[in-house]
Amino acid sequence: MTGSKTSDRGFRVPQPPARPGEAPDFSNFDFGEPGKLPLLDAEAPVEAFEPFHDGLLRVLDMDGKAHGDWASMVSEEDLKEALTAMIRTRAFDQRMMRAQRQGKTSFYMQCLGEEAIAVGCALALRDGDMHFPTYRQQGILFVNGIDPEAMMNQIYSNKKDPLEGKQLPVLYSFKDNGFFTISGNLGTQWPQAVGWAMASAIKGDDKIAMAYIGDGATAEGDWHQGNLFASVYRAPVILSVVNNQWAISTTSAFAGADKNTFATRMASYGLPALRVDGNDIIAVIAATRLAAERARAGLGAVAIEFLTYRGGAHSTSDDPTKYRPKEELGSWPLGDPLDRLKQHMTVSGLMTDEEIAALEEAAEKEMREAENRAEEVGLVHAGEGADPAKMFEKVYEEMPGRLLEQKKEAGF
Amino acid sequence: MNMIEAIRDAHDVAMERDDDVVVFGEDAGYFGGVFRCTAGLQEKYGANRCFDSPIAESGIVGTGIGMAAYGLKPVIEIQFADYITPAYDQISQEAARMRYRSNGEFTCPIVIRTPTGGGIYGGQTHSQSPEAIFTHVCGLKVVIPSNPYDAKGLLLASIEDPDPVIFLEPKRLYNGPFEGYHDRALKGWKDHEDGKVPEGYYTVPLGKAKTVRAGKDVTVLCYGNMVHVCEAAQAESGVDAEIIDLRSLIPLDLEAIEASVKKTGRCVIVHEATKTSGFGGELMSLVQERCFYHLEAPIVRVTGWDTPYPHAQEWTYFPGPKRVGDALKKVVEAK
Ligand SMILES: Cc1ncc(C[n+]2csc(CCOP(=O)(O)OP(=O)(O)O)c2C)c(N)n1
């Protein structure tokens, strides 16, 4: 829980523990210790989840060593895949942040510091399952096999943009990769994921859905309604709150996080709920895998709060130095998920520094080449955007008469 | 059949034909809906196909959208059109734009049924006609039947439609055609031509208006409750009006509208919804754009007043045959 500095009585407006110029302060969190919370069985009764509502599921310590039984749910192969995907995600973000500064796109959103969550969740799910992401789960795509050039073409809104220029940069849609179309309207995907899962259950299918939402957006009514529907209908969905502590400039206290953890609140709907170190890839994969097994076994939804820290600016249109201390990221006690995984790989002898450096180099090269290809296709900001006539298509399955008229009127 | 039975029957036919059709909403399951439009469906098809929901309109539509994205065909009931606004975000920003924003990867073939309109002493929150807040949203279709035959055929067509459909059911017409005289006994659908509803499957296509009465002197554009009010007004005023029941507002049968107004040279638009920025304003603009040189008089709108729907003043608010008749006379007499 994050605290807020206000007096004890009367009207309050929550404040973060520290503002620019002040020393970062995470003293309100109790992080617990890695390896301390017991491994749960997928069939465990809801009560067994109680220690996880306020506690924090952690496997990796800050020296890269794994502790406790949850580690047994994650294999060496998982970790190698996770490392590759996290490295690629970060390399992609860095490329696109640079591309934005160079004016190749007007907008980008990175997931710096949160890479373990999307990557870990994607690894725990199967082909055919559907992720209902926000704009900060691009990591899923680096597990689910998308060509980064396709993402870049979307960001550049060019002639190979899979969405043909209709959508803002980063609001991807990749159905075949289990990635639901991202909306600009916060929270809407939450009940949609529940409905998708309900449909799977109605059909007797074993596919599951996974919903994501930021801490700030949990204040939306859709969060509450989705939690309720998931619980009422025992939908095979994993409901994950990505608590990165910030919603643009406001702290998670504005979404009630200083009163109760998001895990506790989701548990109040009767859902089994876990609170997980979101910067610990092993904990993320293990928790999500357990949730997936449980959902697939017909035992219904599982809620997860991933605790993390938004490492970068909210978007390329945001300047966080105006509202939080610059030093916060560096002093965040759960550290950097990628550094922690790299350390674990070397400490446990799974990989050498050289092998990791080679992966980073390969990712850097892959993204550079993808960017070159995308740039060759064109940039909307250089007047090489998607075909304007496409604008009129796919409003409906068939273009109605009045739209046809407007298309002609526009000169197509 | 009355309109309730016709709607119930349309569900039954659709559920029988297609396992992917699921029906849900507040009280829509075991009890069969507060208006009985889903009665017996749970018993017949099981609670997996027809079920009750929490009182949470955004959740109802939001989960429906997810089901549609999975591949089901949800037919959702919102208890009153007045209570659809909590779901407006999901309808206008999500259902309507699923296909467009995903460039066709995800679609949203849902039907959202909801009882609309006044004339039942429903007061402010059981009487509204919110069609214009949906016709303004690109990506939606908006349908409103005026009789049992159309209700069944249009609902079946809506369920089959690949796009999201807002299906507005004038609840004043559930049990019989209502001409606007609350002090007269309701006739019921039994003896009405459009109360003869065929068994089994048939559709009434979206986007096709129906000429309820052919006439030479003025075109009346109306839908829902107002179709019957306009018929009464025509009979009473003696004006040789051509009455067109639009049946679906999006897509709109522009050909029928244009052909009729070009023939008559005059046009009266009638709806129950409030006037300002109502769908009548759109109809008026279209007629003006397309038929200007054929018009012999200014187009007139008869609508609900720009007030919330009142309780005691129901019949002062409701555009009845007298108001419509006066407008018909005024328009045909205009030089
Ligand atoms: C319904 C709605 N309201 C407001 C916004 C503007 N907005 C975009 S992102 C954002 C902050 C979201 O914060 P959070 O949910 O914590 O996610 P994070 O950005 O931290 O990943 C806001 C207010 C929006 N997109 N949709």
Q: Tell me the pLDDT tens digit for each residue of A311-369.
A: 999 999 999 999 999 999 999 999 999 999 999 999 999 999 999 999 999 999 999 99
Cβ atoms of B143 and B168 within 8 Å: the answer is yes
The model carries a pTM of: 0.98
Q: What is the pLDDT of residue A129?
A: 98
Q: What is the pLDDT of residue A1?
A: 47
- Top CATH class of B3-195 equals alpha beta
Which residues touch A227 (CB under 8 Å, ≥6 apart)? A239, A266, A269, A271, A303
User: Going by DSSP bridges, is the β-strand pair A250-251/A246-247 parallel, antiparallel, or unpaired?
Assistant: antiparallel
Of chain A, the percentage scoring pLDDT greater than 90 comes to 98
Looking at the complex, report in whole angstroms how far the Cα of residue A187 sits from the nearest Cα belonging to chain B: 10
Q: Considering only CB atoms, which chain B residues are within 8 Å of A394?
A: 99-100, 103-104
Helix residue spans in chain B (DSSP H): 3-17, 41-45, 57-70, 88-89, 98-101, 131-135, 148-160, 225-237, 254-264, 279-291, 314-317, 321-333
Task: Check CB contact under 8 Å for A162 and B103.
Answer: yes
- Averaged pLDDT, B183-196: 94
Pick the residue of B22, B49, B103 with the most A CBs within 10 A to test the interface with A by mutation: B103
Cβ atoms of B87 and B114 within 8 Å: the answer is no
Which residues touch A372 (CB under 8 Å, ≥6 apart)? none
Where is B303: in which H helix or E strand? strand B300-304
Q: Domain-by-domain residue ranges, chain B? A: 3-195, 210-333
Q: Which atom of ligand 1 is nearest to the CA of A114?
A: 21
Is the bond preceding B251 in cis, omega lying within 30 degrees of 0? yes
A221-232 helix and B57-70 helix, angle to the nearest 10 degrees: 70
Of chain A, the percentage scoring pLDDT greater than 70 comes to 99
Confidence of residue A8 (pLDDT cuts 50, 70, 90): confident
Q: What is the pLDDT of residues B230-284, one digit of tens each?
A: 999 999 999 999 999 999 999 999 999 999 999 999 999 999 999 999 999 999 9
What is residue B82's three-state secondary structure? helix
Q: Which atom of ligand 1 is nearest to the CA of A214?
A: 15
DSSP assignment string, B107-173: ----EEEEEE--SSS-GGGSS---HHHHHTSTT-EEE--SSHHHHHHHHHHHHH-SS-EEEEEEGGG
How far is Cα A274 from Cα A303, in angstroms, rounded to an integer?
A: 6
Task: Check CB contact under 8 Å for A185 and B89.
Answer: yes
- The answer on pLDDT for A47 being more than 80 is yes
Q: Domains along chain A?
A: 46-378 (3.40.50.970)
Q: What is the pLDDT of residue B37?
A: 98
Q: What is the pLDDT of residues A52-99, one digit of tens each?
A: 999 999 999 999 999 999 999 999 999 999 999 999 999 999 999 999
Please identify which of the residues B126, B182, B271, B311 carries the catalytic annotation.
B126
- Residues at CB less than 6 angstroms from ligand 1: A 134, 136, 184-186, 214-217, 244, 246-248, 310, 314
Task: Check CB contact under 8 Å for A191 and B70.
Answer: no
How far is Cα A257 from Cα A218, in angstroms, rounded to an integer?
A: 10
- Residue A255 CA to ligand 1 center (angstroms) comes to 12
**What are the beta bridge partners of residue B50?**
B23
Cβ atoms of A368 and A95 within 8 Å: the answer is yes
Backbone phi and psi for residue B302, each to the nearest 5 degrees, phi listed first: -115, 120
Cβ atoms of A242 and A212 within 8 Å: the answer is yes
- Averaged pLDDT, A390-394: 97
How far is Cα A399 from Cα A410, in angstroms, rounded to an integer?
A: 15
- Residue A213 CA to ligand 1 center (angstroms) comes to 9
Cβ atoms of A53 and A273 within 8 Å: the answer is yes
Sign of the torsion formed by the C-alpha atoms of A175, A176, A179 and A184: negative
Cβ atoms of B262 and B294 within 8 Å: the answer is yes
Q: What is the pLDDT of residue A4?
A: 52
Task: Check CB contact under 8 Å for B100 and A193.
Answer: no
Strand boundaries in A67-208, DSSP class E: 130-132
Task: Check CB contact under 8 Å for A183 and B62.
Answer: no
Query: Mean pLDDT for chain A?
Result: 97
**Distance linking the first and last C-alpha atoms of chain A:** 56
Residue B263, Cβ density class (10 Å: 0-12 exposed, 13-18 middle, ≥19 buried): middle
How far is Cα A250 from Cα A213, in angstroms, rounded to an integer?
A: 16
How far is Cα A340 from Cα A86, in angstroms, rounded to an integer?
A: 11
- Averaged pLDDT, B4-26: 98
- The answer on pLDDT for B227 being more than 50 is yes
How far is Cα A208 from Cα A80, in angstroms, rounded to an integer?
A: 25
Q: Which atom of ligand 1 is nearest to the CA of A215?
A: 16
| CATH value of B210-333 in 3.40.50.1110, 3.40.50.920, 3.30.420.10, 3.30.160.70 | 3.40.50.920
B3-195 and B210-333 have identical folds: yes
- Name the closest residue on chain B to residue A190, using Cα atoms: B62
Among partner residues B54, B105, B163, which is closest to A173 by beta-carbon distance?
B105
What is residue B270's three-state secondary structure? strand
Cβ atoms of B214 and B227 within 8 Å: the answer is no
* Known catalytic membership, residue B136: no
Sign of the torsion formed by the C-alpha atoms of A310, A313, A319 and A321: positive
Cβ atoms of A371 and A95 within 8 Å: the answer is yes
Confidence of residue A5 (pLDDT cuts 50, 70, 90): low
Among partner residues A167, A185, A229, which is closest to B63 by beta-carbon distance?
A229
Which residues touch A159 (CB under 8 Å, ≥6 apart)? A377, A378, A384, A385, A386, A387
Q: What is the pLDDT of residues A202-247, one digit of tens each?
A: 999 999 999 999 999 999 999 999 999 999 999 999 999 999 999 9
Confidence of residue B184 (pLDDT cuts 50, 70, 90): very high
Cβ atoms of A155 and A235 within 8 Å: the answer is no
- Averaged pLDDT, B25-45: 98
What is residue B73's three-state secondary structure? strand
Sign of the torsion formed by the C-alpha atoms of B69, B70, B72 and B77: negative
Q: Considering only CB atoms, which chain A residues are within 8 Å of B162?
A: 396-397
How far is Cα A378 from Cα A112, in angstroms, rounded to an integer?
A: 27
Task: Check CB contact under 8 Å for A195 and B86.
Answer: no
Q: Which two tokens stand for residue A135?
A: 């704009």
Task: Check CB contact under 8 Å for A195 and B63.
Answer: yes
Q: What is the pLDDT of residues B89-119, one digit of tens each?
A: 999 999 999 999 999 999 999 999 999 999 9
Q: Considering only CB atoms, which chain A residues are within 8 Å of B98?
A: 181
Report the nearest-CA residue for atom 17 of ligand 1.
A214
Residue reference for tokens 């009750």: B52
Report the nearest-CA residue for atom 21 of ligand 1.
A214
Which residues touch B45 (CB under 8 Å, ≥6 apart)? B15
What is residue A35's three-state secondary structure? coil
Q: What are the residues of chain A with a beta carbon less than 8 Å away from any beta carbon of chain B?
A: 130, 132, 162-164, 166-167, 171, 173-175, 180-181, 183-185, 188, 190-200, 202-203, 209, 221-222, 225-226, 228-229, 232, 394-397, 400-402
What is residue A275's three-state secondary structure? strand
Kindly state the DSSP code that residue B64 receives in the 8-state scheme: H
User: Going by DSSP bridges, is the β-strand pair B218-222/B267-274 parallel, antiparallel, or unpaired?
Assistant: parallel
Cβ atoms of A199 and B70 within 8 Å: the answer is yes
The residue count of chain B comes to 335
**What are the beta bridge partners of residue B187?**
none
Confidence of residue A6 (pLDDT cuts 50, 70, 90): low
Q: Which two tokens stand for residue A69?
A: 């039984």
Q: Considering only CB atoms, which chain B residues are within 8 Å of A185?
A: 89, 93-94
